Amino acid sequence: MTLADLGDLRLHYREDGDPAGAPVVFANALGTDLRLWDAVVPRLPEGLRIIRYDKRGHGLSECPPTPYAMGALVRDAERLLDHLGVRDCVFVGLSIGGLIAQGLAVKRLDLVRGMVLSNTAAKIGHPRMWQERIEQVRQGGLEALADEVMERWFSRAFREHDPDFPLWRTMLTRCPAEGYIGCAAAIAGTDFYTPTSGLRLPTLGIAGSEDRSTPPDLVRETVELIHGAKFELIRKAGHLPCVDSPEVYAEVLTEFLGEIGHG
């Protein structure tokens, strides 16, 4: 376990691969931790510097008082990469991680040379929806919405037949409630349509055909804001294709890294 002391916050992160390699940074979905990428990382090409981290209020990172703003989450990623001496990374963000990717690219193009916007959008949901979820968690904890989240995250086949499915439900319910609430509030207040439309950098969008949180059309709409961006649909996958289709996910990501000469 490694903690980066950023002064007012300590973030948990993990590095794999070659410390001198081309950096690839992964940012996780709401209610998950860096183990989200466990099945993808071993399938990536050798020679990469792979960095994963738990955003504030998640996993083993500290959970400061809520609410959080998206600017704070972007600044956390920025400070972590500065702390680690990272430049010109490919930033892979899933769901809220994709919002962080967009915000970071707008702010610090010296840090990000390419993006993977996975199961995300420039704007996810609407404030009233997120406020309702926040109230659910305040009243009943994450257990109160765990079943409906699982239906959005995973296809029926995965929920009914994958032996590891209960572990993902447990990951969600063990997320600190304040961390979930804080990040949900950050999503509610974020609309990146205008800044993202001004980005010009290599970008890959990934969607899952069974994703009920950020459906493929929503992901495609965001990807099309960025000139020259590429879109990939992973069939029979839900909101977390890195979990239910890790082989395909790693293949799509590896192809993108090769196309842009990152590695």
Residues 100-149 have pLDDT tens digits of 999 999 999 999 999 999 999 999 999 999 999 999 999 999 999 999 99
Apex CA 192: angle with CA 191 and CA 197, to 5°? Answer: 145
Integer Rg of the chain from CA: 17
The whole-angstrom separation of Cα 108 and Cα 132 is 33
Q: What is the pLDDT of residue 185?
A: 98
User: Tens of pLDDT along 174-220?
Assistant: 999 999 999 999 999 999 999 999 999 999 999 999 999 999 999 99
The whole-angstrom separation of Cα 142 and Cα 181 is 10
Pairing assessment for the beta strands 10-17 and 48-53 based on DSSP bridges = antiparallel
The alpha carbon dihedral of 128, 130, 136, 137 has a sign of: negative
In percent, how much of the chain has pLDDT > 90? 98
The whole-angstrom separation of Cα 183 and Cα 167 is 22
